[in-house]
Structure 1
Amino acid sequence: MVKLARQLRKRMTPHEVRLWSRLKTWRAEGFVFRRQAPLGRYIVDFVCFTPKLVIELDGGQHSLDDHRAADAIRDAWLEDQGFRVLRIWNMDVHNNMDGVLIAIRDALEAGLRDMRR
C-alpha cells in the first residue's frame, strides 16, 4: 500500500498538484496535510490528522453509479474511523479555487470545534 501511495504521489493529477500547492502552505497555521496517504485499505488524496479531515478530488467518473457506490462505502469506512470526508470536484479546483479553500477551511474549523467538545 505504501509503495502504491508513493507512486501516486509521483503521478498526481493537475488538479491535485494545484490544490496541494495551496494546502502545504497551511502548515504554518498548524494544519499539516499529507497527500496520497494510506488509511486502512484506502489511499486518500489528502488528509489532515488534526482535525481528522480527508479531502477527495473527484472527476467525472465519480458521477457514474458504480463509482458513487464505491465512494459511499469508502466514505462510510473513513467516517467510522472518525474522519470527516470532503469531496471536491476537479472543475471546482480549476474554476473556483477560492471557494474550495473556504470550504476546506470551514471543514477544518468545524473539526476543531468537534474536538473541543
Structure 2
Amino acid sequence: MRVMVLVKATEDSERGLMPTAELLEAMGQFNEELVKAGIMKDADGLKPSSAGKRVAFDGLGRTVIDGPFAETKELVAGFWLWEVKDMDEAVAWVKRCPNPMPGPSEIEIRPLYEMEDFE
C-alpha cells in the first residue's frame, strides 16, 4: 500500500522559519530508519506558500493566484511517499516521527489509488 504522509504547515513554516540543527538531525535519523526499513520512496519539504501559485479552473478559464494562501492549517509544508503493508503500519511510523515543527503540528496520512481500485 502506498501512502502520502503530509506534514501540515504552521505559522512558523509559512514564515519560512527553518528547523533547528537538532530537529534536522532527528529528522535525518528518522528518514534513515524509513529507508533501511524499505518504507520511504520519496520525501521533501516545501517552501512557504508565498513562493507558490495556484491555478483556478472554471470551464475553459484559468486564473493564476499568487501566494501566500490563507488558512495555514490547510497547507502542506512537506511530504513523504511510503510503501507500507497497511494504514496501521503507516500510523505506527508517524507516531515515531519527531515533531516536525517547533510547536504543535499535524501529520496527515492519505492512501494513494492503486490500479486495482479502478477494476
Between structures 1 and 2, the one with greater helix share:
1
Between structures 1 and 2, the one with greater strand share:
2
Larger Cα Rg: Structure 1 or Structure 2?
A: 2
Q: Could you state the TM-score of these two structures normalised by the residue count of structure 2?
A: 0.29
Q: Could you state the TM-score of these two structures normalised by the residue count of structure 1?
A: 0.30
